[in-house]
Structure 1
Amino acid sequence: MSEQSESGLDELPVVDSSVHGITAYAAGYLATLLLVLIFEGERFVGDIVEGAGWIFYNAQFVPVEQRASLTGPVVENLASINYLTGQGLDTAPTSSVVVPSVVYHAIPILAYVIAGFALARSVGARTPATGVKLGVSMVLGTVILAIGGTFLFEAAGQIGPNRLYSVLLVGLVYPGLCGGLGGGLAALDR
């Protein structure tokens, strides 16, 4: 990367930004998977990978929903579901997970803030604006994984995270806002 100008950054480190975004997404998902394996495993027997993905996406307010199917049976009356808020579940409108919902909601936030902080530090951001710009640039890596996750976390090709919300929230909003916050904090800490 070229030397930074007085105002911050001359060019965006695309590879570093993408790697930090991918790492944050993966770390957030793996932390969620670990908690699901330990505490929520009975709920998602046989579908642990998908179940952890659903909770990871639910933590970023992406609902799980029925996909249109031309070949398979359609599940009647399946609404959008969020296991962390209780939305769309037959139970009371509260969380249906063992671990407190706030823990699951905190995982992606912490992952993206830490990654944004690490990215801004590794590049040597000198101003908060540069740090924020670097942190936001992590979306270069997360948006692709967010799209891929909608297919990977799909059960039987019929139930999975809402694709539009996944791109917007998991791919852009969460990593952009939280990464930007982390990047800005890194520059303030210098």
Structure 2
Amino acid sequence: MFVEWRPTMESHDVYSVAFSNGLWTVDYSVTPADGPMERCKITRGDRPHPDFIAAFKPFLVMARRFVELELVNFSKAPMELAVKNIKFGYHTKYGLSIRMAVECGPLSYSADNIKLITPTFYEIRKGTNVVSFPDRTSVEYALNELTKDEMEQIASLKEEAFLYAYAAKREQVTLEGAAIEYARELNSTDGML
């Protein structure tokens, strides 16, 4: 009996992307075409490729929408929002899901930032919320629903995070950049090269 050989592709998925203390952590899996899934969590300190950074930036806007808070401290000074961890999942009823851990600061009375976990948002809305105003107008909001743009941004970040973690796609050092780093090392006062 002849069995025709057909080339097959492996598949992959990304479960989370985190940034802390200058390090990126990516939790991902690879499933070979003819083997079991292999799951890995890798933490890297090298600078990601600019495509990865560009894919990560829209999550600041997305996080602001998820949090729904005016970001000002007690002194009425604006606070910055930083995305620290993004978790991806899947719900059988609502589809793809995302939740983020964020930090907001600076605060007026604390050296520590506020740490928040956003609500989970999904591919399919969980319902609607109608907000009525004194002038008898109202606005309907989709509850916990990702926009089409956000779905595309998630797909882009998941792909770039996978390439960074698995295929080592990162910023390439230029000759000028290498020369500057070498000069810094030579001028360091800690005695180490």
Q: Which interval holds the TM-score relative to the shorter structure?
A: under 0.3
Higher share in strand: 2
TM-score under structure 1 length normalisation: 0.28
Give the number of the structure whose alpha-carbon radius of gyration is greater: 2
More relative contact order, 1 or 2 (CA 8 Å, 6+ apart): 1
Higher share in helix: 1
TM-score under structure 2 length normalisation: 0.28
